[in-house]
Amino acid sequence: MKNNGIKLFALILSLLCICFIFTGCYAISSQNKKFSVTFKQTGFSDVVIYVDDGGSLTEDQIPVPQPKPGYKLVWESVDLTNIKENIVVNCIESLITTKYTITLNYCAKNLVEQGYVDLSGLPTEITISFNEVISLPKYSSKVNSGYSIESWLYEDGTPFTKTHYDIEGDITLKAKWQWLG
């Protein structure tokens, strides 16, 4: 009987040890648990940030969406505090529908005053949307003076060679005149 008591005591002691081991392992594993927050943007690699169980992402930890010309980009609204599961945050792309103005400076005051060119009927501004095809005025002298617009330039003198408007903002272009004669 004494032997049975020792066996029972050993069995109870063994069960208690097993319970303590499992409880300790669970406590350790739950302390190290991490969740992923995945930021998804079409055409770009996902950005994954791992957060401790119950942790949060601060504003400065959230990645900035990769730029996409002609689009306003924001992350969808997701609560990134007290994180208890894996989260996916998608990028929302909104097409920019703003109209922009191209101001045209013909730089032809002397040519007009001398009667070499007649700019009447030519636009001084063009209203355009992002990525719209650009159609800038061309000019050949109506009075056979031999002047025409060779090209359009930015204000700093750099040639304007775009076929689609991919600038977010208004600009001014100036004409570069050519003597054909």
109: enclosing H helix or E strand: helix 109-113
- 94 CB-near residues (< 8 Å, 6+ apart): 71, 72, 73, 74
Residues 169 and 118 in one domain: yes
Structurally, the chain folds into a number of domains equal to: 2
Please indicate, yes or no, if residue 22 is contained in any of the structural domains. no
User: Of 104, 96, 118, which Cα lies nearest the Cα of 168?
Assistant: 96
Looking up residue 61, the CATH number of its domain turns out to be: 2.60.40.4270
Domain boundary at 76, 95, 114, which? 95
> What gap in Å lies between CA 145 and CA 52, rounded to an integer?
77
The per-residue pLDDT string of the chain (181 residues; one tens digit each, 9 = 90 and over) reads 556 666 666 656 566 556 555 555 454 555 679 999 999 999 999 999 999 999 999 999 999 999 988 888 999 999 999 999 999 999 999 988 889 999 999 988 888 888 778 888 889 999 998 888 998 888 765 555 678 888 999 999 999 999 888 887 899 999 998 887 6
Range of the domain at 80: 33-95
First to last CA, the chain: 128
Supply the pTM of this predicted model.
Answer: 0.54
